[in-house]
Structure 1
Amino acid sequence: MSRRKLAKFEENNKRNNVIEPGKPIYEQVKGNWNNKVFNNDNPIVLELACGNGEYSTGMANVFPEKNFIGVDVKGDRIFNGSTVAINNNLNNVAFLRCQILTLQNFFEENEVDEIWIVFPDPRPRSRDEKRRLTHPRYLNIYENILKEDSWIRFKTDSLPLFEYTLEVLEETRIKDLTYTKDLYNSDLLEEHFGIKTRYENMFSEKGFKINYLKFKFEN
């Protein structure tokens, strides 16, 4: 492991906005995000597979009345998002280092108000289908931790992943499904507040259309 990564990991260990293994709060945070991390009762929004946390920090700046949690397994990426939050005095942002399949270890039922899945790894190989973040096993987890009538929002440049997700949702009890295969030429664009990830900039500049959908679970 490089010295640069080691330095980031050491810094993460000191930061209050990074929740990761080895810290006491890692085992205590389930059901306690508002009182142990944010010290308020504001709604909680997750960005899954957050990478460098562009959406978590971007949305936190737009919505100071909400709490944002970026979830990723990569500590060096979390360091980058954490740094942006600290440098911009965004006290309504935190980062959780864990596997997304373990989310129920960190959130109680009905603790989360909204979920964003932004440019996840498309996992194109058939044998990796269960690793796609819109596979039914993941959707079951999201439904468990979300409050009733809450949005899941999904954004990707990968048309195969997007179409796969629509197929999965056809077999899932959901409501209010809305989608576009060309976000930048859609009325839904205003829901994104000009926030773009590094991958979104990269692929849109290459001419890829951006796919977007949102839905709620049918309770």
Structure 2
Amino acid sequence: MSDLGAWMFIIGIFVMMVAVIVLIVAAIRKANRLKLGSIYTVAGAAAIVIIGIIFMMVSPVKSNESGSNQSIHTTKKSDTEKLESAAKASSKAASEKSASIKGSSEAASIESASASSELAKSESQKVSQAQEAQTNSQNISYGMLIKSDDNKGKAYIVSGSVLQAQSDSGMEMLLVDATGNGDYVEVIVNGKTNAVEDSTITAQGILGKRDTYDTQAGGSNTVPTLYVDDSSNVTVQ
């Protein structure tokens, strides 16, 4: 109930109270049963009772209005707190997602840079090994290779005609005439090539220990060995 409605209600009750008192006074005087002072006393008592009744009726209305207003205020406050909490949670989630995306992007960049670095390093090693093999092939003669294993582990290039070609378990053994004068090198390739007997090849690899094999004439022959880690390092002409 609004304040205006409450006051109109009070005024209405007051008017009714006055009317009742007037009627009571008129009836008593007409009956001549009480003196004038007693009449006023009764009227006053009646007025006090009616006012008390009005007060008790209005107080709960005020109390209800106050409680309702307090409840509305509390509800509004609770809704506001919920909205603020939701906004904070949303902002935190957005920040965490942004940080996660940034972290993933940085990790991807690092991995990409690392892969590029490894690729560049690998290419650089290949170039360096090719240059080393070329230099060693010029400085280390066949006689030095057949004499001892001192050059084991060095990069080297062998070129010549294939006398014998064998393949087994993904590996190939090519017996190559490295000088054209019957100076053979045993080339062991990891993988398969198109080389056959009488093919001319160029192979880049790493020198190993000398190997001794039996010949068809019943004798033996000792030759240097060259290990090629990938068939792509063998060129067949």
User: Which protein shows a greater Rg?
Assistant: 2
TM-score between both structures, scaled by the size of structure 1: 0.23
What's the TM-score, normalizing by structure 2?
0.22
Bigger helix fraction: 2
Tell me which of the two structures has the higher relative contact order, counting C-alpha pairs closer than 8 angstroms and 6 or more residues apart: 1
